[in-house]
Structure 1
Amino acid sequence: MIKHALFARLEAKPGKEQAVADFLAAGLDLANQEATTPIWFALRLSPTTFGIFDAFSSEADRQAHLNGPIAQALMAHAGELLASPPVIEPIDVLGLKNQAVQG
């Protein structure tokens, strides 16, 4: 059961918006390799603001993700791509609906 999540807010440096979008799109491959990260979204909230939302079954899984390859890649590129350090917030999941959409 999914009970734990993270939301990371990312603000792109001027002129780096497409690079951030490309970085996040490439992150899907890494997310697909994480068996303990069943839910992962890369988001564009505004022309310059992006986000990552992911959810986990346990606190241990959430911590493993924070120490995993996506977080390492994000921190390695933060200075180059982001106007400020990412804001990463832990979230408690109170309810969840997950229904596959055909399309």
Structure 2
Amino acid sequence: MSNSVGLLVTLEAKPEKSGELADFLQSARNLVVAEPDTSTWYAFQISADRFGIYDTFPGEDGRRAHLAGSVARALGTKAGELLATPPVIQPVAVLASK
């Protein structure tokens, strides 16, 4: 499956909420597994309070479905509790992959 589009999302945890945000991201993997058009999904920690998600899709339909899916809804319900700022969601074009 060739992936042509992706998302790069950065998240900043509220003070003292980094552990909870990390736990949330780890548990979100189970939600993403059920998405047939999410080809790859990575959750990562950048620094003590900054996190990210990078995922890829074969096309725009998969990316839109993911943005309207379970992880987005779950994050929306937890954002006020866990995040210091709104998520920064950047659509990307995949130029090459291995």
TM-score, normalised to structure 1, is 0.93
Percent pairwise identity:
46
Instruction: Tell me the SS of whatever aligns to 2:16.
Output: coil
State the 1:35 CA deviation. 0.9
- Structure 1 stretches of at least 4 aligned residues deviating more than 4 Å after TM superposition: none
In structure 2, how many angstroms separate the alpha carbons of the residues matched to 1:40 and 1:66? Answer: 13
Instruction: Tell me the SS of whatever aligns to 1:33.
Output: coil
TM-score, normalised to structure 2, is 0.97
State the 1:56 CA deviation. 0.1
State the 1:38 CA deviation. 1.1
In structure 2, how many angstroms separate the alpha carbons of the residues matched to 1:76 and 1:8? Answer: 17
Cα deviations across residues 28-63 of structure 1 (Å, max 9, x unaligned)? 101111111010000100010000100000101100
In structure 2, how many angstroms separate the alpha carbons of the residues matched to 1:95 and 1:28? Answer: 24
In structure 1, how many angstroms separate the alpha carbons of the residues matched to 2:24 and 2:57? Answer: 22
In structure 2, how many angstroms separate the alpha carbons of the residues matched to 1:56 and 1:82? Answer: 26
Cross-structure match for 1:26: 27
For structure 2, which runs of at least 5 residues remain unmatched after alignment?
A: none
User: Cα RMSD (Å) of the superposition?
Assistant: 0.5
Instruction: Tell me the SS of whatever aligns to 1:36.
Output: coil
- Equivalent runs, 1:51-70 vs 2, <5 Å: 51-70=52-71
In structure 2, how many angstroms separate the alpha carbons of the residues matched to 1:84 and 1:20? Answer: 13
For structure 1, which runs of at least 5 residues remain unmatched after alignment?
A: 98-103
